[in-house]
Amino acid sequence: MSTPTKVGIIQFPGTNCEYDTQHAFENFGCETVILWHKEELIPQGIDLLVVAGGFSYGDYLRSGAIAKMSPIMKALKVYADEGGKVLGICNGFQVLTEIGLLPGALKRNEGLHFISRHHHLTVVSNNNVFLQHCEAGEVIHIPIAHHDGNYYIDDAGLEMLRANDQILLRYTDANGVIDNPNGSIESIAGVCNQNKTVFGLMPHPERAMESLLGSSDGRRMLEGFLSA
């Protein structure tokens, strides 16, 4: 009998998606542990670290700016530098860009409004553990809920993303035509690092686990980590 995947989920003051994330991974039979932001060590045996969505520290200063100074961030950086897999969802994506584990930055939505709805995404690359169960070019339907989801990177950085196959997802309509809800450069909804071990996306796959809730497309996204 194989050992279940062990998932650590980082929790800050203001995090509000940690239990949704926990439920999603436990639905796959994973062992999960919630890690408070003041922890200084990552427990042994963690197969995946998730920085969950929400509003860490109320998004004061800017999204993720205070969270990056939490004690657990040093341990997360060490974990990532040693090849550990990390997933940042929404506010978690913002945190990962703030600490430099992912390139670019997340700015205020172009329309200056909080957006909360299901949105279509096109899978740009499945050459990674996160999206290995999805097809390149496939359109999926995942909830978004953010105020600061406008992904930005300079021209040189964007060229690096393209060259290294680091663009994961784009906002589109149901037919795969660009439909950009927040002003993100090239309609980018998610990226990874060059080593394809650190992943960040604004949409919420943990909220798309059951058709009853509007979509089960999130299942194939998250289960990629189970067979990594």
Closest residue by Cα to residue 19 from 217, 207, 221, 227: 207
pLDDT at residue 63, as a whole number? 75
In a domain, 22, yes or no: yes
Q: Which of 37, 119, 146, 204 is catalytic?
A: 204
The CATH number covering residue 158 comes to 3.40.50.880
* Residue 204 designated active-site: yes
Is 139 inside a domain boundary? yes
pLDDT at 57: 78
> pLDDT tens across 22-67, in order?
999 999 999 999 999 999 999 999 999 999 999 887 777 777 778 8
Per the residue annotation, which of 17, 30, 90, 134 is the catalytic one?
A: 90
- Beta pairing partners, 13: none
pTM: 0.95
Q: Decide: 101 and 217 in contact? Cβ < 8 Å.
A: no
Q: Does residue 221 fall inside a structural domain?
A: yes
Q: Is 12 contained in some domain?
A: yes
Active site (annotated) includes residue 135: no
Is 90 a residue of the active site? yes
Q: What is the pLDDT of residue 3?
A: 64
The amino acid at 180: N
* Spans of the chain, pLDDT less than 50: 1
Domain assignment present for residue 1? The answer is: no
Give the domain extent around 88.
6-227
Share of the chain above pLDDT 70, in %: 98
Name the strands in the sheet holding 139-146, side by side, starting at the edge strand that comes first in the sequence.
31-36, 6-11, 48-51, 85-89, 198-201, 188-192, 167-172, 115-123, 139-146
Structural domain includes residue 11: yes
User: Total domain count for the chain?
Assistant: 1
Contact 184, 161 (CB under 8 A): no
What's the pLDDT score for residue 228?
60
